[in-house]
Amino acid sequence: MVAKELVPTATIKFFGAGTAGCIADLITFPLDTAKVRLQIQGEKVEGANAAKYRGVFGTITTMVRTEGPRSLYNGLVAGLQRQMSFASVRIGLYDSMKQFYTRGTDSAGIVTRLMAGCTTGAMAVAFAQPTDVVKVRFQAEVRMGDGGRRYNSTIDAYKTIARDEGVRGLWKGCMPNITRNAIVNCAELVTYDLIKELILKYDLMTDNLPCHFTAAFGAGFCTTVVASPVDVVKTRFMNSAAGQYSSAINCTFIMFKQEGLKAFYKGFMPSFLRLGSWNIVMFVSYEQIKRGMTRAQQYWESPF
């Protein structure tokens, strides 16, 4: 008699999503840092020696040459903290939220999926925003030679921001980030969900690695196109000095006035490279982690 395969529990999905998010961040973090540098380029900053970045790999090369290879991983600790809290909520609770909106049934339409994506995306930001602020501050920091550092460590960054800007400073850019992540979650999770469902429905592939890879790649591209403008505004606003912008709306208007419409798609290629590769690594890892943990649970509950 073959044991019935268990469905992953909400706990497995929660911790599996956080772990998969950390794995994806470890691999794609230099691309994310390059994206941030390109997005903030064009801001009026003090010092005439600010590096000029050209393209994804040009940005990475410039950073390695002027600041050293470690600069590509500025903010990694905060990034991993962010994924453990952020991905766990927005990805790990997505299926649970779908079931909540469908009252426990398995028939989830497009509207239900969009509502679930928006909800978990907003919940994740409200919970994990301080980690995102610190991550962006570290990634945007330019160190030339023996120049001083903005923050000495991740813990120091949390303390300094809270002391100098108040506790509200740790939630700076929360509204544009909620907007961005509602869009990202809908584009990312719903697109992945739908592509994977269609592939399996028409027997194009089996529910395995090639299927997960294809669905994740499509999700990454759609997400980048939709979310890039909000992502640029979020990055600029979170990295800004106190008083530089009065609000995210003000930041948007200033960007448009000074730099034009193209400014909202600054860093598009690293965003796509990062989101595409991040989605592939994360979703493939997530599916494998879910299966591995579910099998371990199945073996634990019925070893013979």
pLDDT tens digit string along 1-41? 344 557 889 999 999 999 999 999 999 999 889 888 887 88
Give the C-alpha separation, 207 to 221, whole Å: 21
* Residue 200, domain member (yes or no): yes
Confidence at residue 276, expressed as pLDDT on a 0 to 100 scale: 85
* Residue 160, domain member (yes or no): yes
Least confident of 121-125, 210-214, 220-224, 267-271: 267-271
Structural domain boundaries, residue 92 = 10-301
Give the C-alpha separation, 138 to 239, whole Å: 9
Q: How many domains is the chain built from? A: 1
* Residue 19, domain member (yes or no): yes
* Residue 268, domain member (yes or no): yes
* Residue 4, domain member (yes or no): no
CATH classification of the domain holding 242: 1.50.40.10
* Residue 1, domain member (yes or no): no
What is the tens place of the pLDDT at every residue in 229-249? 888 887 888 778 778 888 888
* Residue 253, domain member (yes or no): yes
* Residue 88, domain member (yes or no): yes
Is residue 162 over pLDDT 90? yes
Chain position carrying tokens 């939709």: 226
Is residue 156 over pLDDT 80? yes
What is the tens place of the pLDDT at every residue in 72-94? 998 899 999 999 999 999 999 99
